[in-house]
Structure 1
């Protein structure tokens, strides 16, 4: 496996783990386990940072004049990055709603 493919697989792996952690956070919040939900968000943030770091390397490569070969694998990795970012924001909002519901019970 060569450079760009390896970077894409690193992104896909890390960002998939981030998305799983963010979904787990929502599930924990639904059960009223808000501290555990926050831990899941933090865990997801670490995975997300790994994926983002790999992506940033590609951006640096491109801006330094070394073109990055576009491929379906790269498009999928980019999609995973955007979905992880969206899912984190959504998970945090859902957790806040569950906390608010819990506080008015």
Structure 2
């Protein structure tokens, strides 16, 4: 695994993890009625997901251009983190909306 490939995979893991953490913090903020903070944390989660997607796009582009990439457990793990974080962020938005309606 070359350095550029490793950096892309680690970018996926780090940014996806940050997105999930921000989404969880958004839920906690909504539970206490702090919807401004919840909205800010969801925005941060979405920005982290964009960064993760940039890493993923770089890998997909290389493969589409014919470069053979070694699929390792670390690569699979990074994709798992991304998909979980996307789903978790989407669910967090719904949970925040429920808290918003309950507090209204």
TM superposition score category, shorter chain reference:
over 0.9
Runs of 4+ in 1 over 3 A off after TM superposition: none
5+ unaligned residues in a row in structure 2: which ranges?
Answer: none
| Inter-partner Cα distance in structure 2 for 1:40 and 1:71 | 32
Tell me the distance in 2 between the aligned counterparts of 1:42 and 1:82. Answer: 18
- Gapped runs of 5+ residues in structure 1? none
Give the alignment of 1:49-64 within 5 angstroms: 49-64=50-65
Aligned length: 103
Q: How far apart in 2 are the matches of 1:45 and 1:14?
A: 10
Report what 1:30 is aligned to. Answer: 31
With structure 1 as the length reference, what TM-score do the two structures score? 0.94
Q: Counterpart in 2 of 1:8?
A: 9
Q: TM-score, length-normalised on structure 2?
A: 0.94
Provide the rounded CA distance (Å) in 1 between the counterparts of 2:73 and 2:82. Answer: 14
Question: Considering only aligned residues, what root-mean-square deviation do their CA atoms show, in Å?
Answer: 1.0
